[in-house]
Structure 1
């Protein structure tokens, strides 16, 4: 059970920032799933980050940092609920815990789908990948794509539909292969 040794504070700070940056979105979403108030969720996230830094020397490298951070966040949610009074959030602490755990589980599923989608995008032909990139990264509507590519908007819509169906089948296949 190897904990993170804080020899050089700069190294510890860099390691913490790297881990926290990767986990922060998921921690925030697990908090927000319980409190349903953006300002409260941001306040709890801020407090969670302070507590995580204070306790970083207790973090074990063999642990999943995001799960560890979400565990700390759960306690911060409970402390926030106690400070605000239960009237602010009319649910039991047990239900709040279960909501937080369910949110984390849902995020795991979304991450697996995102990873599978990335692999499927890489399998597309360069032309199809570029069409998808322009459509979604540049937010270019089919009419704009048609003008850029010298095709009809209808032809672009049909092509996008076929590509999306192909991606959906590929993602489902990859998730089934993983056993997800």
Structure 2
């Protein structure tokens, strides 16, 4: 497979590959690192891929293995049954497009959240800290974090719903 076609195919399939990775590792930066590693490994052996289907099958397997390896290196056991893990990787193109639209809407909605709430969200989901760790880092109580997260989740959910309704109208 030609390198330019390989890169194009992987970039077009980015959402289909990164969403399942995130569901395993739950750390945004690690998702990006794993995706980049898949691309680099694919480029090193580009001549072994017969077609795009072969590349995608190899990429899904490689990404899944890298994600599970990441958990093992962190001393975390696999949090999902193997059957569930396999089903995660069967996201269709239509599902991937819907996920991308939701992701874009969420990204835009996050811009409307006050900086302190955005920082709390970044710590909790971007860095993968527990609520107790977020409370310590911010200097507040665990109960306050739970309440703030709940309100922020609600605010973001409503904003995303409105944004997606605007797209379908």
TM-score class, shorter-chain normalisation, is 0.5 to 0.7
Alignment match, 2:152: 163
Q: Which is bigger in relative contact order (C-alpha 8 A, separation at least 6)?
A: 2
TM-score, length basis structure 2: 0.53
| 1:145 positional shift | 1.5
- Cα RMSD after superposing both structures: 3.3
The structure that has the greater radius of gyration is 1
SS of 1:145's equivalent in the other structure is helix
Judge conservation of contact 1:117–1:167 (CA < 8 Å) in 2: yes
Structure 1, unpaired ranges of 5+: 1-11, 30-44, 53-71, 78-99
Structure 2, unpaired ranges of 5+: 19-41, 58-89
| 1:50 positional shift | 2.8
Alignment match, 2:123: 134
TM-score, length basis structure 1: 0.50
Shift of the 152–163 alpha-carbon distance from structure 1 to 2, 3 Å rule, reads same
Looking at structure 1, the residues matched to 6 and 123 of structure 2 have their Cα atoms a distance apart, in angstroms, of 33
Q: How many residues align?
A: 109
Alignment match, 1:39: none
Q: What are the residue-to-residue correspondences of 1:4-153 with 2, within 5 Å?
A: 13=3, 15-25=4-14, 50-52=49-51, 73=53, 103-153=92-142
Looking at structure 1, the residues matched to 16 and 128 of structure 2 have their Cα atoms a distance apart, in angstroms, of 28
Shift of the 142–26 alpha-carbon distance from structure 1 to 2, 3 Å rule, reads closer
Runs of 4+ in 1 over 4 A off after TM superposition: 25-29
| 1:161 positional shift | 0.6
Looking at structure 2, the residues matched to 149 and 25 of structure 1 have their Cα atoms a distance apart, in angstroms, of 33
